[in-house]
Each structure stands twice: as C-alpha cells, then as structure tokens.
C-alpha cells in the first residue's frame, strides 16, 4: 500500500528523522494562515500517490500570499498521471545547496534489505542509475536489523564527503531503518535528502510503501489508505469475501482455488485470449458467491465472455450450478457464460444445467477455446 508524502513524513518524524515542518491542506485559506505562521517562502506540494510530481509541475515554491493563492489554485486544477490533486502539503522552503538520494528497499532477488544512497541524487536518480551507476552506493543488511559498525562506515563515506555529513547521514539511515522495521515497509525513500546553506540536513520528500500483508500488525496504518487509488471493483469484491484482482483483458474468469485461477489465466493467455481478472471464489460452495462474482465481473464493460472453471473438491459442482441458474434468473446476462465443471457432484451439476438448457464442458482446454473464441466476437 502506498501512502502520501504528508503521512510518510509523520512516520519519519516519529523515528526521529529531520523532516521539514508542514501542514496538509485542502483549502487555500488554511494554506495562507499556515504560511503566515512559518513565514515565506513556502513550498506547495501536491499530494498524489505517483512519482515525479516535481517534473509534472506539482511542486511550487511561492514567496508571497498573492503568489500562494494563484499557484494553489493552479495545483488544485492539476491532474497528475490521471489523479486529481485534492490535498496540498505546505512546508517551509529550504535553501537547497545539494540533493542526495536515500532509500531502504526490500530486494527480493537478493532475499535481503538494501540501503541505497547517492550523492548524485534528487529527481534524476533513474537517469543516474543508467548513466553513472557507480554513483549509486548499496549496503545490504545481510539479515541484520541495525547498521554493522564493521561494514557501514565505508558505505557512508562513499556517499558524504565530510565527517560531519557522514555523522548526520548515519543518523538519517538509523531513522530510516527504524521507520522501515517499525512499520513493515517494503520501501522507505528520501528523495531528495537536502543540505541547506547552514550545512543542516533535511528530508525534503518522504515516500513509503507498506507491506499489505503486515498491515494487520500495525494499528492505524490501514486508516492511511486513500480510496481514490483503490480499484472500485476490488473494493466491492472484498466486501463479498472474494479474492479478486482487476486485469485489462476481456475474458472474465470465475474459478475456485488460487492455483487453478492462476493456471486458468495462463491458459486463457496461451490460447490467444486476455483475462479480465483473477478471481478465486474460494473453497466453500455457496450459490450466492457465484452470483456476486458474476455481478462484479460485469461491472467492466470490456468483458465479452465469462469462463467459470470449477474443480470440485470441497466445492460442490451442484452448488455452483445452482448459483449460475440463480444469476441467470436475477440478471439479464449481456455476455455468454462458458462453464466447465468437474469433480464433486459433477453429474448432479450437469443434470441441473442441462435441464435448464445450459451447455457445460468437462475439460479446461475445450472451455478455454470456446470462451476465447466468444470473446473475440
């Protein structure tokens, strides 16, 4: 889960990181009164959960109330990578002398957590990674939760050039690691970390990605979720206890079991089709679930056909069959259903469906070929 800069900044502050005092606002008058209390110049920062706000014109330094009012409105009218700007963080402007990049990231390839730093940082970090990879320094935690006094100094000396900055930089990494472990982050990034004219270091931006599977361990983190960025279909599915992931194809998939659901998407793709979703209706059989699943899939107008692929174990095929008939009764299906049922109570299910004039398939291959053909139109 991604959180906004103003939220990440709060978590940074709790870990003792040198964040810049700020206030998140949604009305220009709030911004004006906060700016008055800290003094101009101030920076207006659009709060959107996408990177590169600076380059997209989402960050403005303003020197007066008049300028603030004008730029605030400009930002409010802005859409960054498809997301409207609803909140604006106001912070005191820093007289930036130099920018650095700092991050703690889960490195899945190395099975470790890596600290990354660069003195060629700032917003051009992706560019630096390509053109000057030696300027990006890495330090692997090697399973430790703190900085190893034997290995860490040579890393930090490669990033900051004076002992004074190295000491400040070490403190910042300690704070970053505390944030990382205290909240089960998958990423905690400061880009840029800046030095001002007095040689003081500040975290001028704050980015955190939280591990979704660990949210339940931290009271309050779930509340940071911004519903603007959640897929409406996925939220609806969650309400009905369905494990659903929206994809961009046109073949709706209703499957029981996560493994079979993955395999079904693979075979749809292999047969020249494109799955519209991942959906696991779960192990227990319940006609209601099939009905809800069909309704959620039909929320996407791109869907041209729906495949129901059931391998009955605990799930009883006859329950699924009843769910299908119930759905047909309740909704006027705008797209064809292709049904493959096998396993527990397969015969009963087929009898139910055949009696209602609904065709069924026994093998996955036949059913997938059929649904892909129908989706092609």
Residues in the chain: 377
Q: Is 52 in the site for ligand GDP (CB under 6 A)?
A: yes
Pairwise CA distance, residues 249 & 94, whole Å: 47
Residues in a beta bridge with 343: 312
Give the three-state DSSP class for 160. Answer: coil
Nearer to ligand GDP, 205 or 319 (CB): 205
Closest to 298 (Cα-Cα) out of 313, 317, 311, 279: 279
Pairwise CA distance, residues 23 & 38, whole Å: 10
Q: Is 118 in the site for Mn ion (CB under 5 A)?
A: no
Q: How far is the CB of 129 from Mn ion (least distance, A)?
A: 15
The percent of the chain in helix, strand and coil, each rounded to the nearest 5, is: 40, 25, 35
Is 40 in the active site? no
Site string for ligand GDP, 188-227 (x = CB under 6 A): ---xx-----------xx----------------------
The full 3-state SS of 231-299, as one line of letters, equals CHHHHHHHHCCCEEEECCCCEEEEECCHHHHHHHHHHHHHCCCCECEEEECCCCCCHHHHHHHHHHHCC
Pairwise CA distance, residues 203 & 19, whole Å: 5
Q: Is 53 in the site for ligand GDP (CB under 6 A)?
A: yes
Q: Is 124 in the site for ligand GDP (CB under 6 A)?
A: no
CB 219 within 8 A of CB 5: no
Pairwise CA distance, residues 310 & 285, whole Å: 10
Nearer to ligand GDP, 54 or 287 (CB): 54
**Interacting residue with Mn ion among 99, 120, 124, 205 (CB under 5 A):** 205
Stretch that binds ligand GDP, among 62-70, 93-101, 260-268, 280-288 (CB under 6 A): 93-101
**Interacting residue with ligand GDP among 24, 43, 156, 307 (CB under 6 A):** 43
Question: Of ligand GDP, Mn ion, none, which one does residue 339 interact with (CB within 5 to 8 Å by kind)?
Answer: none
Any residues with CB less than 8 A from the CB of 353 and at least 6 apart, and which?
Answer: 321, 324, 325, 339, 341, 359, 360
Triad 113, 216, 296: Cα angle to 5°: 105
Cα-Cα end-to-end distance for the chain: 37
Nearer to ligand GDP, 98 or 218 (CB): 98
Q: How far is the CB of 318 from ligand GDP (least distance, A)?
A: 54
**Interacting residue with Mn ion among 25, 168, 191, 285 (CB under 5 A):** 191
Q: Which of 5, 120, 124, 189 is catalytic?
A: 189
**Interacting residue with ligand GDP among 10, 33, 54, 247 (CB under 6 A):** 54
Q: How far is the CB of 303 from Mn ion (least distance, A)?
A: 38
Nearer to Mn ion, 119 or 322 (CB): 119
Stretch that binds ligand GDP, among 54-62, 140-148, 226-234, 286-294 (CB under 6 A): 54-62
Pairwise CA distance, residues 203 & 190, whole Å: 6
Stretch that binds Mn ion, among 26-34, 124-132, 202-210, 309-317 (CB under 5 A): 202-210
Stretch that binds ligand GDP, among 63-71, 94-102, 112-120, 226-234 (CB under 6 A): 94-102
Size, binding site for ligand GDP by CB under 6 A: 18
- The secondary structure element, H or E, covering residue 70 is helix 65-76
Closest to 105 (Cα-Cα) out of 153, 130, 147, 141: 141
Q: Which of 6, 72, 101, 139 is catalytic?
A: 101
Q: How far is the CB of 121 from ligand GDP (least distance, A)?
A: 9
Question: Of Mn ion, ligand GDP, none, which one does residue 252 interact with (CB within 5 to 8 Å by kind)?
Answer: none
- The catalytic site residues sit at 101, 189
Binding site for ligand GDP (CB under 6 A): 43, 45, 51-54, 59, 61, 93-94, 96, 99, 122-123, 191-192, 204-205
């Amino acid at each position: 889960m991604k959180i906004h800069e103003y939220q990440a900044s709060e978590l940074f502050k709790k870990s003792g990181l040198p964040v810049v005092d700020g206030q998140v606002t949604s009305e220009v008058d709030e911004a004006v009164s906060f700016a008055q209390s800290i003094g101009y110049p101030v920076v207006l920062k659009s709060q959107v959960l996408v990177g590169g706000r600076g380059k997209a014109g989402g960050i403005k330094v303003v020197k007066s109330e008049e300028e603030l009012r004008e730029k605030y409105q400009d930002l409010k009218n802005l859409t960054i990578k498809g997301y409207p700007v609803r909140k604006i963080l106001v912070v005191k402007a820093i007289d930036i002398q130099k920018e650095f990049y700092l991050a703690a990231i889960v490195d899945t390839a190395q099975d470790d957590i890596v600290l990354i730093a660069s003195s060629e940082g700032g917003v051009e970090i992706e560019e630096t990674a390509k053109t000057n990879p030696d300027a990006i320094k890495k330090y692997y935690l090697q399973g430790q939760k703190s900085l190893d006094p034997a290995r860490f100094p040579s890393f930090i000396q490669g990033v900051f050039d004076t002992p004074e900055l190295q000491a400040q930089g070490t403190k910042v990494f300690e704070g970053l690691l505390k944030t990382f472990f205290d909240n089960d982050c998958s990423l905690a990034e400061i880009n840029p970390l800046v030095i001002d004219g007095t040689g003081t270091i500040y975290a001028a931006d704050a980015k955190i990605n939280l591990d979704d599977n660990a949210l339940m361990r931290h009271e309050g983190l779930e509340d940071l979720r911004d519903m603007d960025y959640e897929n409406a279909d996925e939220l609806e599915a969650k309400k009905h206890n369905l494990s659903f992931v929206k994809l961009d194809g046109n073949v709706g998939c209703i499957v029981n079991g996560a493994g079979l659901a993955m395999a079904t998407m693979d075979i749809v793709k292999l047969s020249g089709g494109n799955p519209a979703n991942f959906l696991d209706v779960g192990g227990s059989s319940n006609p209601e679930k099939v009905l809800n699943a069909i309704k959620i899939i039909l929320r996407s107008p791109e869907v041209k056909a729906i495949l129901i692929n059931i391998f009955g174990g605990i799930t009883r095929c006859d329950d699924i069959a009843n769910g299908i008939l119930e759905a047909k009764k309740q909704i006027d299906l705008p797209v064809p259903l292709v049904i493959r049922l096998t396993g527990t109570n397969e015969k009963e299910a087929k009898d139910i469906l055949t009696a209602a004039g609904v065709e069924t398939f026994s093998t996955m291959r036949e059913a997938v070929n059929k649904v892909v053909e129908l989706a092609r139109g």
